[in-house]
Structure 1
Amino acid sequence: MSTEDGLSLRQNDIAARLTCVVVGGDILAYSYVRELHRAFGIARVIVLASRDIKMLSSSRFTDYRIIEGVTTAAEVLYPALEQIALNERAGDPARRLLVLGCDDVHARLLSAGKQRLQRAGFAVPYIDFQLLDEITQKRRFYELCEELGIPYPQTWYFDCANGPDTLPVHEFSYPLIAKPSNSALFQDATVARKRKIYEIDTPDELQQVWHDIRASDYGAELVIQDFIPGGDEAIRTLTTFSDAQGNLRVVSGGVVCLQDHDPTALGNPLAIMGQREQAIIDAAAAFLKRVGYRGMANFDIKYDERDGTFRFFEVNTRCGRNTYYMSLGGVNFAELIVREFVLNEPIEYREAYEPFLYCCVPPYVLRRSVADRQLLQRALECRAVTHEPYPLAYAPDSTAHALWSWAMYLNQIRKFKRFHWDTGGKQLKE
């Protein structure tokens, strides 16, 4: 039997014997669906969502289930997953199960419930909750960066539950950045004039943001940071996969040519061009080894032209919305998860930097939004040689899915007009 025949038999067995469940309904959810189908021929992925996301519910590869509260509440999610496990194993007691999440809240829920879900039969590809909770607190992340010599922005911390009524706003230099230390807790909080990340231009604006958050139900820290010069083109992203000993096994990354400028989604890259930076890889590898990290991680970084360093902002303890770019770079990211957490196979070291442009916007948006014209030209050249740069465009899927996906794609023109072009590139503040 040839190696190819052995691999085909293994893939056929996975397609018949593995049930994958995705929690959430964003671009990453569909990226899981398409890459599981592409790697193993899995033609049915159960998707649990709290509302109808048409590009997913219309897919021929999803078993789409709407359950109120399933994406945010442990008391809803865990019983729903346990019932799925019972149903799936009723006719096949040896069936394997894998659960995957899409954002910070899902990572926390699945990590916190890991032992319970494993008892139900699920492979849960997330680090233990104690480690997750530690390294997703920005203060602790920066302490580890300091220990390892990894550059990070100058940072101040303020306790939103017990901090001062007013901040010493005139002691800072502007502009600056303000953001929650705990993104998952902030995501569920009710905050007036809420933004994912706050771009602050004046002392009065910072004071208003502080008052809004202090009056909310968010009780962790607010992080205030030095603003690092540069637009979207200065942002870097790195996705890593590491083994049980924290050894880096697969890596991919690039320059963010364009990010989402909707204030509720700021920081989500919409166009990423593959670009290898050894300093970034070395820093991430040291961090992963130091904490003993297993599985997928995503690092947010920005190049600081003032001193030529790459400054690390945070680690996301999960796949990012854009992790499909690892597949574009040559390594199917969903296949890695199955091999490590379901099949327990050793993962060979690989770098996924084949030329690519991950792109969720039409070329018109790129041409009108990317200020660095040389970067724009390189990005358009990479797009021309990238097969399916848009993660929602998957030829084997249904016509209905394609229509909804392209509607989302074209809607980016309207969004960029409102949130970027009409504001002169400044963050829209309402």
Structure 2
Amino acid sequence: MSYGNNDFVPIIIGTNLNAYNIARSLHEAYGVRSLALGRYPSRETADSQILEVRARTDFGDPDVVVQVLDTVATEFPGRKLLLLPTIEFYTNIVLERRAQLDPRYVIPLVDHDLAKRLMNKTDFYRTCDELGVPHPATVVVGPGPVDRALGDDLPFPYPVILKPSNTDVYPRLSFAGKQKVYVVPDQTALREIAARIFAAGYDDDLIVQEYLAGDESVMLVANSYSDRHGSMRFASAGQVALTEYDPNLVGNNNAIISVRDDELVESLQRFLDGVGYVGFANFDVMSDERTGTRKLLEVNLRPGATAYYTMAGGGNLVRCAVEDLVYERPLPLEVTTAERLWLNVPYPVVLRYAPRGLLRRIRAAARAGRVHTLKYRPDSSRRRRIDIARVDARHTRDYLRFARRRPH
């Protein structure tokens, strides 16, 4: 089977929803077939005619990842190989081993030093401060014995958010009561949780942050692309319409309305151009109900798993990397403005579980146009349709199951 075209071959690291998002975006733009590498096959990418998956269980070993990429590179002499990691783990491997990969691959990622600065939340919020980009009010707690007065004099009220600054070290730790992010009710709980985290071996900063209250209606996402000269050339904002209910998947989104948001786009450009960013960026954003200000929470150095909402809004995010790095063409500034509905679950699930206050907007966006990443007419064999039906059934069961456990 052939991959790519005469000019380039897309090599995707990961076999998840994001892998299909990227492969579909490239197929729509160039009619190309992609190659995906990962640990396990998944239903999201199974039986596809636009994407082939090569899986091996030891692909979690960075040495194996680089070895496989070296071998794959020999299959495609004379063509540019566009390397596209889909999750943070693979992104980190590519950043760490970039010197080995650069001679053979075109990589739409920031350099290693800037990546470290942005992935560390202490440095990320400091950078936002320096550039005048809105973000939640933050207090940094250094590692070591917990001060008995910690939390007694915060510049914002309880409850507060507590989370690790270092998202590379923290996920590797294991201890009772571990959470990705903590909503902390008072000073006593803040001190207890901080002490437990440090006792588990975490040795970097903790972030204490103002709690921005609200349901999906205050949650936004944004995806962008900055060209090889460090200039933002694509931006797309999205209003979250439905989040994941499974506690193990908290933070993932299953429905997004692509929207026009000039304030948010201006903040993104100030941030990205201010640091000389290159490549894809995916932002989590919240709107402060008190002021309406859009505040950046964090940045991921790759397209978001839900980034296909940008296609619903009228813009092909992934195409930017090909035009910029493969064909080296100048990119005009593109900002999506159409209000459409992106789905990762059946539409009736969205109507049933999305916040009531968003339903009118959801229905209006759906009438204008709705898309489901996995439902792609040129890739709709009988086996593929069965795979997608099973994915949708699994998501539906999860909402039925976990909705009962959520507080009302």
Q: Tell me the TM-score normalized by structure 1.
A: 0.86
Partner amino acid for 2:46?
S
CA distances 1:213-259 after superposition (whole Å, capped 9, x unpaired) = 32435443322211112111101111111223332211111211122
- CA drift of 1:17 comes to 4.3
- CA drift of 1:184 comes to 3.7
- CA drift of 1:21 comes to 1.4
Query: For 2:55, which of 58, 66, 73 is the aligned residue?
Result: 66
Trace 1:147-166 onto structure 2 (pairs within 5 A). 147-160=130-143, 162-164=144-146
| 2:393 counterpart of 1:403 | no
Tell me what 2:344 maps to: 360
CA distances 1:165-204 after superposition (whole Å, capped 9, x unpaired) = 8783565643222222233433344343333333334556
Bigger shift: residues 182-191 or 408-417: 182-191
Q: Which runs of 5+ in 1 are unaligned?
A: 1-11, 426-430
- CA drift of 1:412 comes to 2.2
- Do the aligned partners of residues 176 and 364 (structure 1) sit closer, same or farther apart at CA in structure 2, a change above 3 Å counting? farther
What is the DSSP-based 3-state SS (H/G/I as helix, E as strand, rest coil) of the residue aligned with 2:238?
A: strand
Tell me what 1:245 maps to: 229
CA distances 1:241-295 after superposition (whole Å, capped 9, x unpaired) = 1223332211111211122233332222221112222211111111111110112
What is the DSSP-based 3-state SS (H/G/I as helix, E as strand, rest coil) of the residue aligned with 1:257?
A: strand
Tell me what 1:168 maps to: 150
CA distance in 1, matches of 2:406, 2:3: 53
Partner amino acid for 1:66?
A
| 2:35 counterpart of 1:46 | yes
What is the DSSP-based 3-state SS (H/G/I as helix, E as strand, rest coil) of the residue aligned with 1:183?
A: coil
Trace 1:327-346 onto structure 2 (pairs within 5 A). 327-346=311-330
Tell me what 1:9 maps to: none
Partner amino acid for 2:68?
A
CA distance in 1, matches of 2:359, 2:43: 31
Kindly indicate whether the alpha-carbon contact (under 8 Å) linking 1:233 and 1:258 is maintained by their aligned counterparts in 2.
no
Kindly indicate whether the alpha-carbon contact (under 8 Å) linking 2:109 and 2:279 is maintained by their aligned counterparts in 1.
yes
What is the DSSP-based 3-state SS (H/G/I as helix, E as strand, rest coil) of the residue aligned with 1:311?
A: strand
Kindly indicate whether the alpha-carbon contact (under 8 Å) linking 2:224 and 2:317 is maintained by their aligned counterparts in 1.
no
Kindly indicate whether the alpha-carbon contact (under 8 Å) linking 2:237 and 2:258 is maintained by their aligned counterparts in 1.
yes
| 2:381 counterpart of 1:393 | no
Q: Which runs of 5+ in 2 are unaligned?
A: none
- Do the aligned partners of residues 202 and 13 (structure 1) sit closer, same or farther apart at CA in structure 2, a change above 3 Å counting? closer
Q: Tell me the TM-score normalized by structure 2.
A: 0.91
Tell me what 1:129 maps to: 112
Bigger shift: residues 246-255 or 191-200: 191-200
Trace 1:207-356 onto structure 2 (pairs within 5 A). 207=191, 209-356=193-340
- CA drift of 1:117 comes to 0.5
| 2:179 counterpart of 1:190 | no
Tell me what 1:24 maps to: 14
Tell me what 1:107 maps to: 91
Partner amino acid for 1:75?
D
Kindly indicate whether the alpha-carbon contact (under 8 Å) linking 2:160 and 2:211 is maintained by their aligned counterparts in 1.
yes
- Do the aligned partners of residues 16 and 286 (structure 1) sit closer, same or farther apart at CA in structure 2, a change above 3 Å counting? same
Tell me what 1:377 maps to: 360
| 2:46 counterpart of 1:57 | yes
Kindly indicate whether the alpha-carbon contact (under 8 Å) linking 1:138 and 1:182 is maintained by their aligned counterparts in 2.
yes
Kindly indicate whether the alpha-carbon contact (under 8 Å) linking 1:256 and 1:269 is maintained by their aligned counterparts in 2.
yes
CA distance in 2, matches of 1:50, 1:194: 25
- CA drift of 1:208 comes to 5.2
Trace 1:199-210 onto structure 2 (pairs within 5 A). 199-201=183-185, 205-207=189-191, 209-210=193-194
Number of residue pairs matched by the alignment = 404
Tell me what 2:63 maps to: 75
What is the DSSP-based 3-state SS (H/G/I as helix, E as strand, rest coil) of the residue aligned with 1:347?
A: coil
CA distance in 1, matches of 2:340, 2:210: 32
Kindly indicate whether the alpha-carbon contact (under 8 Å) linking 2:216 and 2:243 is maintained by their aligned counterparts in 1.
yes
Kindly indicate whether the alpha-carbon contact (under 8 Å) linking 2:258 and 2:310 is maintained by their aligned counterparts in 1.
no
Partner amino acid for 1:47?
A
- Do the aligned partners of residues 36 and 419 (structure 1) sit closer, same or farther apart at CA in structure 2, a change above 3 Å counting? same
CA distance in 2, matches of 1:263, 1:287: 32
CA distance in 2, matches of 1:63, 1:337: 21
CA distance in 1, matches of 2:398, 2:142: 34
What is the DSSP-based 3-state SS (H/G/I as helix, E as strand, rest coil) of the residue aligned with 1:15?
A: coil
Partner amino acid for 1:246?
G
- CA drift of 1:210 comes to 3.0
CA distance in 2, matches of 1:418, 1:207: 34
